[in-house]
Structure 1
Amino acid sequence: MKLQLNIQPLESWINVKNQPLLISGPCSAETEDQLLSTAHLLAATGKVSVLRAGIWKPRTRPGEFEGIGSIGLEWLKRAKAETGLPTAVEVANAKHVQEALAAGVDILWIGARSTVNPFTVQEIADALQGVDIPVLVKNPVNPDLQLWVGALERINKAGITKLGAIHRGFSSFEKSAFRNEPMWELAIQLKTLCPELPIINDPSHICGNRELIPYISQKALDLDMQGLMIESHLDPSIAWTDAKQQVTPAALAEMVSKFTLRQAESKNEEFADKLADLRKDIDKIDDLVLQKLAERMSITQKIGEFKRDNKVTILQVNRWDEIMSKRTAFAKALKLDVNFTEKFLELVHGESIRRQTEIMNAGKVDAGIAAEAHADVK
């Protein structure tokens, strides 16, 4: 089911003459000189479309730098006047919205900590009633697509049609090279639900360190995301917040110049014909895979009945270990990614367990329902 949003094309509300679309600036506005100097250097690269800066910073723990506050809006106004760059800030409540609008900020974004709370999003949406301004909504901290969708819907229902999403990754208990796991599949699902919705990637918050930013940025562009939000600081080594994930304006310009830009579609007829043929092959194989999965589940059903009749448990760890060991070894020989194979097998195994559980407990479930009905009658 498609997501129904009333939105305008990105090109109608952001200058996209620079490719890729790049929103950049310091994580936090620290001093007027720091912000203005960084803004001028970013404008001089000719690659930045929008100047961003954190004015209010929602921090995990009290006592950390929580933003310079409203005075930073005046610095942003001056930076815009001197460089010509439109400005963007994060807002987390109605007061932020009112002050940002009064200061002439061009674009607002809602942060991950706000998106996770429908009450906060609704407060911001109410403050935006009757306002014509672009709003970008970051994904929630936790991997919940419905929360992300709900926040977009709330802002859209407030009358905001210049609407976009920011993919900044998701918190995870698992330790990895990333500050926030990309979980690309959630951004892809959102794009599938609403193909016209612009999605901008935030590699700074995904990576948490500047070394990985080029890799994540290129992958985002390859996945047809409409732009990037990359944090840049005059001197990241002395930044008051998130120093490790910020880059200098010069490093940013060099990085962007090395990106490979690809089109979503090609007008080359030979390419289109060849792609269509290859997709037909994929379709045939997909059909065969589904047929074989159906056959496998049919056998699983028989195994479940056999176990039930012989009072054998559903889960047999030794058998599961054997499957994982043999199948992953076979997959490796076939040049398939081991992680992909393991996830696939876990999904299939989970469905097998679910079906066998239904078979094992069918009578008990029916008896339970009957008992409840009898109790209600009494």
Structure 2
Amino acid sequence: MEMKFENPFGADKKRPYIIAGPCSAETEEQVLGIAHELKDQNIDLYRAGIWKPRTKPGSFEGVGALGLKWLRRVKEETGLKVTTEVANRVHVDECLYHDIDVLWIGARTTVNPFSVQDIADALEGVDIPVMVKNPINADLKLWIGGIERLYKAGITKIAAIHRGFSSFGETNYRNAPTWQIPIELKRQFPDLLIINDNSHICGRRDILKDVAQVAMDLNFDGLMTEVHNNPDKAWSDAAQQITPKVFGQLVSDLVIREKGGTSVDQSDLAVLRSKIDVLDDELLRILDDRMKLAEEIGVYKKANNISILQPERWNAILEKSEKKATNLGLSVEFINKLFRSVHQESINHQEEIMK
């Protein structure tokens, strides 16, 4: 389906578009206090979660429609535009009644086409910008499908929000960025703005700036960051929120490179190197996962008195890898050296367990 998108932020400006505010609206004082601290930081949207989809029941699930009145006061007192998450038709109706400027659809909703369609039906004939977060799982078609449902309902002011993807096992992130998926989305829809939600990718404060910079180096259009006036006391996602002051410094420290063309600061080269850095990080994570599996195999071998080296298995791995290398245009010599090194490291890990 061919789609042409309008800028959901209004007039075009130089990157990045900035969205900031607390994970959750907790109290009227908290919502207004943060907004007043952010109003002079040139942000484009003030965000606050009103309804919070939680993994387990019993967690704080948001203040509900009451918080929409607080967001309306933010608009009146600061002049900031406001946005919040919606997950169903009732949420949409409440937001439209309270004059919320922009809506966003969360990852847990995007993953369910029935829910997205319900929201799309509720918005048919309404001229309001909508941002769509990627689904929890790394499924580009599902992400595009959610955007298409809104577009068919007449919504053309759409942006995508990249908040990372759930992955099994321990990683350096709360949600793995898997950058190639939003990059492919941008390739297919060049006029679709993509906002990076570094808070949900990171899950912790210390790497927020690094992820935000990678997003800017990859020509993302903006940033969505959770900001709280007392992050450690936040009612939800405390570990990933930062103060308005720290946020202001994060944004001012970002290096914003020009899109396309050539420039004396070699911005194109920097973008390519950023992509290499992202893939290197992913390679290291995969190697770490492989070594953990090798250790589990070592435990099994020790318990069952099996020797570490299994020549038939090792020969099969080498043969299969060399065939794949040829098909992929990689040199057999390189793959041979790589897999021999990986195999030796696996043996080292298993020898430690055997001891």
What residue in structure 1 maps to residue 218 of structure 2?
223
Tell me how far apart the structure 2 counterparts of residues 271 and 66 of structure 1 sit (CA, whole Å): 46
What residue in structure 2 maps to residue 36 of structure 1?
32
* Superposition TM-score, scaled by structure 2 size: 0.76
Tell me how far apart the structure 2 counterparts of residues 270 and 28 of structure 1 sit (CA, whole Å): 40
Q: Which of 230, 233, 245 matches 1:250?
A: 245
What residue in structure 2 maps to residue 263 of structure 1?
258
In the alignment, structure 1 residue 327 sits paired with structure 2 residue 323: no
In the alignment, structure 1 residue 184 sits paired with structure 2 residue 183: no
What residue in structure 1 maps to residue 80 of structure 2?
85
Q: Secondary structure at the match of 1:192?
A: helix
Tell me how far apart the structure 2 counterparts of residues 120 and 160 of structure 1 sit (CA, whole Å): 16
> Percent identity of the aligned residues?
49
What residue in structure 2 maps to residue 300 of structure 1?
none
Q: Which of 5, 21, 24 matches 2:3?
A: 5
Q: Secondary structure at the match of 1:90?
A: strand
Alignment of 1:124-203 (within 5 A): 124-203=119-198
Give 1:47 shift: 3.1
What residue in structure 1 maps to residue 206 of structure 2?
211
Deviations 1:3-25 (A, max 9, x none): 51132135xx3456574211000
Q: Secondary structure at the match of 1:23?
A: strand
What residue in structure 2 maps to residue 52 of structure 1?
47
Give 1:153 shift: 0.2
- Give yes or no for contact 2:199–2:241 (8 Å, CA) kept in 1: yes
Give 1:26 shift: 0.2
- Give yes or no for contact 2:318–2:336 (8 Å, CA) kept in 1: no
Tell me how large the CA RMSD over aligned residues is: 2.7
Summarize the Cα distance change of 1:14–1:244 in structure 2 as closer, same or farther, 3 Å threshold.
farther
| Structure exhibiting the larger radius of gyration computed from Cα positions | 1
Tell me how far apart the structure 2 counterparts of residues 134 and 9 of structure 1 sit (CA, whole Å): 8
What residue in structure 1 maps to residue 282 of structure 2?
none
Summarize the Cα distance change of 1:16–1:243 in structure 2 as closer, same or farther, 3 Å threshold.
farther
What residue in structure 2 maps to residue 66 of structure 1?
61
- Give yes or no for contact 2:15–2:221 (8 Å, CA) kept in 1: no
Tell me how far apart the structure 2 counterparts of residues 75 and 270 of structure 1 sit (CA, whole Å): 44
Which one-letter code corresponds to 1:42 in the other structure? L
Give 1:203 shift: 0.4
What residue in structure 2 maps to residue 356 of structure 1?
none
- Give yes or no for contact 1:19–1:47 (8 Å, CA) kept in 2: no
Give 1:327 shift: 3.5
Tell me how far apart the structure 2 counterparts of residues 269 and 214 of structure 1 sit (CA, whole Å): 25
Q: Secondary structure at the match of 2:84?
A: strand
Q: Secondary structure at the match of 1:156?
A: helix
Tell me how far apart the structure 2 counterparts of residues 188 and 267 of structure 1 sit (CA, whole Å): 20
Deviations 1:274-313 (A, max 9, x none): 99xxxxxxxxxxxxxxxxxxxxxxxxxxxxxxxxxxxxxx
How many residue pairs were aligned?
290
- Structure 2 residue runs without a partner (length 5+): 270-311, 323-332, 343-355
- Give yes or no for contact 1:18–1:47 (8 Å, CA) kept in 2: no
Summarize the Cα distance change of 1:18–1:49 in structure 2 as closer, same or farther, 3 Å threshold.
farther
Which one-letter code corresponds to 1:9 in the other structure? N
Alignment of 1:220-369 (within 5 A): 220-266=215-261, 317-322=313-318, 327=334, 330=337
Summarize the Cα distance change of 1:271–1:262 in structure 2 as closer, same or farther, 3 Å threshold.
closer
- Give yes or no for contact 2:4–2:191 (8 Å, CA) kept in 1: no
* Superposition TM-score, scaled by structure 1 size: 0.72
Q: Secondary structure at the match of 2:39?
A: helix
Which one-letter code corresponds to 2:105 in the other structure? I
- Structure 1 residue runs without a partner (length 5+): 276-315, 333-337, 340-378
Give 1:195 shift: 1.1
Give 1:187 shift: 0.6
- Give yes or no for contact 1:16–1:49 (8 Å, CA) kept in 2: no
What residue in structure 2 maps to residue 119 of structure 1?
114
Q: Secondary structure at the match of 2:46?
A: strand
Which one-letter code corresponds to 1:234 in the other structure? N
Which one-letter code corresponds to 1:249 in the other structure? P
